[in-house]
Amino acid sequence: MASRNKNPFTIFLWSILRWLCTFKYPSLIIVGFFNLWNRIDFNRFKRKKHTTRFQNDWGKLRVIKTARDEDAINQGAHDGYKPLLKKVEPSDEIRSKYAVLQNPITGEIKTIGDFRAMGRNRDADYSMVIGFTFYYPYHFPSPFAAYMVPKDIKPGERVILEDLIEDIVKGRWNQGNASRLKSCAAVWNGRDFELDVPDEPEFFIG
């Protein structure tokens, strides 16, 4: 019978237990504990990556395009689509950060976006001239946009919004950054799209 894969911590525990088994009474308790420990499925306690519901059916869904400026919206209307207009409203939650280092002699600069870079890539020739600053990192050509809705779409149809207009947080970093979701599945309710997004954003540590 194939042996179970054990992580280094379990192997270490087993070596300790073997030593303890040289004693009489403690070994009975500890071996019983180890047998219980070895039966626990620790995988179910691991953090699972967030995915949208039914993400495996994306390949079967119709893709809805987004027009980002007046000309593109009018072209879509001319091509037979019904533009669903929305404001482009940046979310305060979505942000990135930067800091600028400068060589006082040559004037050359370096930009960094990771707090750890200060200690990891310390350069005596450069000094910080702009401390870490958060900003909204995305740029769009117009303060409004529109989903190009096909005229034959029916209420209840699931689609893919290829270029999401709404600002939805995709993931957070423990250093304070938060990225936006680029696309997602949605359901047409006859007037608007109901977005199918994760209950919680992904979370990254580093």
Sorted by sequence, the CB contacts under 8 Å of residue 156 that are 6+ apart come out as 187, 188, 189
* Residue 52 structure tokens: 């949208």
Residue 49 within any structural domain of the chain = no
**Can you say whether the dihedral through the CA atoms of 55, 147, 188, 137 is positive or negative?**
positive
Is the domain of 108 the same as that of 71? no
Residue 50 within any structural domain of the chain = no
Is the domain of 120 the same as that of 37? no
Sorted by sequence, the CB contacts under 8 Å of residue 44 that are 6+ apart come out as none
Residue 78 within any structural domain of the chain = yes
Q: Which residue has the tokens 């580093």?
A: 206
Is the domain of 151 the same as that of 68? yes
Q: How many independent structural domains does the chain possess?
A: 3
Is the domain of 75 the same as that of 115? no
- Burial class from Cβ neighbours inside 10 Å (0-12, 13-18, 19+) for residue 66 reads buried
Rg (CA), the chain: 27
Residue 200 within any structural domain of the chain = yes
Is the domain of 89 the same as that of 165? yes
Question: Domain limits at 120?
Answer: 96-135
Are 105 and 70 spatial neighbours (Cβ–Cβ below 8 Å)? no
Residue 3 within any structural domain of the chain = no
Residue 185 within any structural domain of the chain = yes
pLDDT, one tens digit per residue, over 17-55 is 555 555 544 545 554 554 555 555 544 444 444 444 545
Are 99 and 126 spatial neighbours (Cβ–Cβ below 8 Å)? no
Is the domain of 147 the same as that of 79? yes
pLDDT, one tens digit per residue, over 123-167 is 778 899 999 999 999 999 999 999 999 999 999 999 999 999 999
Residue 182 within any structural domain of the chain = yes
Is the domain of 174 the same as that of 196? yes
pLDDT, one tens digit per residue, over 61-88 is 999 999 999 999 999 999 999 999 999 9
Res 203: pLDDT: 85
Res 92: pLDDT: 94
pLDDT-based confidence at 8, cuts 50/70/90? low
Residue 2 within any structural domain of the chain = no
pTM for the structure as a whole: 0.67
Is the domain of 141 the same as that of 195? yes
